[in-house]
Amino acid sequence: MVTLLSENGTAAIEGARVEGGALWIPVSELAQAGWQLRPEGACRGDLCVPIPKARERDFVREVAGERSFNLCELASLRRQPVARSERGDVFAIGEASDDRAERLRGGEAPDFALPDLSGRIHRLSDQRGQKVFLVSWASW
C-alpha cells in the first residue's frame, strides 16, 4: 500500500509496488491517483497524455500478475516533481513548475476549497461575481 499526496489530495493505493524509481499502480486503482488509462493515453478530465511510442513497457506492465501503470514515469514525462519517503510508502507528486507558471501568468485565479474553523468548506469559485481580497497570515 502506498500513500500518494497530490493536488487531488491524499490517496491510499492498495496493490501499489515500488521498484527502483518506478511506482507501479494497478490500473484498476489508477483512478485513485486521479488518472484513467484510455486508448489516447493517461487521461485526467480533458487532458490526455499519450504514452510515448516504443516506451509502452516503461509505463504499462504486468507487475505481480496485475496490469499496472508507472506513475513516476508519467510524472517524469510531465516534469512533475516527486518526493518519496525512504521506505517508499509515501509519495508526493506536485505540479510541474512550467505548468503552474503558465497558468498563473494567464491571470485566472486558481480555485481552492478550504475549511473555516467550524469545518465548513469554502471555495474561491463560490465568490464569483464579487471582488475578492485573498490574504494570507499565520500564527508563526
Q: Using CB under 8 A, pick the residue from 10, 31, 40, 56 that binds another protein.
A: 10
Regarding 125 and contact with another protein (CB under 8 A), the answer is yes
Taking the complex as a whole, the smallest distance from the CB of residue 55 to another protein amounts, in Å, to: 22
If one asks whether residue 76 binds another protein (CB under 8 A), the answer comes out as no
CB 59 within 8 A of CB 51: yes
Indicate the burial class of 132 (C-beta count within 10 angstroms; 0-12, 13-18, 19 or more): exposed
Binding residues among 86-115 for another protein as defined by CB under 8 A: 86, 90-98, 100-102, 104-110, 112, 114-115
How many chain residues are in contact with another protein, going by CB under 8 A?
53
Locus of grid cell 513548475: 97
Sheet arrangement for strand 90-93 = 9-13, 2-6, 90-93, 82-84
Q: How many CA atoms lie within 13 A of 23 on its CB side?
A: 26
Task: Compare residues 44 and 103 and give the one whose CB is closer to another protein.
Answer: 103
- Footprint on this chain of another protein (rule: CB under 8 A): 3, 5, 10, 79-86, 90-98, 100-102, 104-110, 112, 114-117, 119, 122, 124-125, 127-140
